[in-house]
Chains A and B, each alone.
Chain A
Amino acid sequence: MIHVRDLSKTYTVHEKAPGLMGSVRSLFARKTVARHAVQGVSLHVAEGEILGLVGANGAGKTTLVKMLAGIIHPTSGEATVLGHIPWQRENDFRRQIALVMGQKAQLWWDLPAADGFLLLREIYRIPEARYRENLAYLAETLDVTRHLHVQVRRLSLGERMKMELIAALLHDPKIVFLDEPTIGLDLTAQRAIREFILSYRETRKPAIILTSHYMEDIERLCKRIVIIDEGAFLYDGPLDQVASRHTSQKVITAHLERPASLPPAVLAGLGTLVKQEEYLLQVRVLRARVAEAAATILRELPVADLAIDEEDIGTVIERIFRERRVGPS
């Protein structure tokens, strides 16, 4: 469905020295610098797949999404989405995609959402019966039927985002770009949006490209992720293999029957202490030494329960970024 090869985007940005003199000087001469937002990335996304794009602010996630949705032109490289070159913006291509931007309203602010949906029906030429069926399904699933006739600007952030999702999905797109769909929402609304995306994907099977800063979004929704930093891919593969490929450590958590602690020398020999409380000990140990460390803990402490887990994915990803910048710790 989506094929990308060596795609790059470089922005030319103007720089201005601070202060009044800088402003005056910039009237006559401006310094420009090239900012490489995306650098030679390649990617394939299959039908029905949910791909998570993970990266810090300015990593290049949104630029990549904008190129794939046809909003901006790349500096170099190739991409086809549903057999179309996105930035040529053929109508047949645009009828099959949808873009939801968590930070930018798509619907018409002064109008009730229902009016905006009617306009979208005209724009996408959705047959009347299909429009009614889709609207009823989406509004009921997202529990916003009673808000359809309220001006968009009078809705809460969560309700507005639900309306944005309806607007994006009314025409049954084959590819959905979700750019931070849960940003700024409370936990209940975040959960509702996540549940909806999962159920929608089950029933309609579109390919979804999701960017989010919330690891819970990524963990709940994506089986495959791309980690992107400074415009380049650091990882492209299954979510559940991020930890095993990028960390040589596991986390042992021991719940204790009574307050106890390990002698400092023993603890230092196990690995890195993550957390120590009266009834709890958590240490990060090398994979190769997990069995030995677990045996030591079981021998030295009154253990009620013991668990050996991969590191939290958010922590692993954070460490990947940190190590890229300052080197391994």
Chain B
Amino acid sequence: MSPGLFLHVATMEARRRMSYRVDFWINAIAGFGAEFALVWFLWKAMFAMSGTEAIGGYTFDQMLVYYVVVILVAKVVRGVEFEGQASEDIYQGGLNRYLVLPGSYFGFKYAQSIGSLLPALVQAVLFGGLWLVLSGRTGFEGVTPATVAMAIPAIVLANLLHYLFVWTLHVIAFWADNVWSLLVAWRHAAALLGGAMIPLTLFPTGMQSTLEWLPFRALFALPVETLLGRVTFEAWVDGMLVGCAWLVVAALLARAVWRRGCLQYSGIGI
């Protein structure tokens, strides 16, 4: 797919997403507000019960900042996981129209996914900036231009890696028709093992070592910890290398599943 076409599709999708104003604000306020309120009450109680200053290396303020950042980064990494994705096209036969168009269906869908990130990016800037102002930068002390520069490629890698895994799950619709439960299972597993549900430092040491070699850490914990200055340059390089290796695995897997799946496709709905 040419860069021009990729940009055209992405901007078209961004315009489409931003045209739903009510959806944007409900998603922003309910998505961020509800999730953050839950975290705030939960950790307030945890810190009160434990009676300690820090849990898993995080003070209460640092924990809140971790969650603010992880909620916003996760929106950018995940994009739109369910609506308008490959499984819907396969199930409803909408894939037919893409298969007769020259170019890559994956490229087309990924461009749409990137375009659909615009509302998430606006929300990240909006809520991240608001938190910075309200908190007086408490908990953001580790953030420097260098950590921001390192976090950006980590977020790009996380987005692509996440998309490839989710794409593969969607493509299983060639056999399973409905992959909703698979996607929900993935979302929970990735959130728990990737650091979106709890910081990975809360896991037992042995588990933490194992997670360093799995793809999940690269999805959420690596970009967030990098941004907050909790990762050394060497650890960041190691994390990125592991993430890139998984990217290759995910790409090969996605390609193989897509090719096998196309042989099964019946184009129902035509």
Contacts and interface: CB of A to CB of B under 8 A. Distances in A.
Interface stretch (B8-16, B54-62, B243-251): B8-16
A71 B267 contact: yes
B102 A73 contact: no
Contacts of B262: 73
Contacts of A69: 99-100
A122 B100 contact: no
A95 B102 CA distance: 6
A158 to B, nearest CB: 20
Interface string A82-97: 0000000101101101
Given A70-B99, A94-B100, A94-B101, A104 B270 contact: yes
Nearest to B20: A110
Interface size class on chain A is 20 to 34
A106 B93 CA distance: 11
Interface in A79-121: 89, 91-92, 94-95, 97-99, 101, 103-104, 106, 108, 110-111, 115, 118-119
B100 A98 contact: yes
B263 interface: yes
A111 B265 CA distance: 28
Interface residues of B, number: 25
B266 interface: yes
A303 to B, nearest CB: 51
B4 A99 contact: no
Contacts of B19: 110
Contacts of B101: 94, 123
Contact of A97 (B2, B96, B100, B103): B100
A272 B15 CA distance: 66
Interface of B: 2, 4-5, 8-9, 12, 16, 19, 93-97, 99-103, 262-263, 265-267, 269-270
Given A71-B99, A119-B8, 14 more contacts: A11-B266, A70-B100, A71-B100, A72-B266, A91-B103, A94-B101, A104-B93, A104-B94, A104-B96, A108-B12, A111-B12, A119-B9, A119-B12, A122-B4
10 contacts: A69-B100, A70-B99, A71-B99, A73-B263, A94-B102, A97-B100, A104-B93, A104-B94, A106-B97, A123-B5
- A-B pairs, top 4 by smallest CB distance, nearest first, are A91-B102, A94-B102, A106-B97, A122-B5
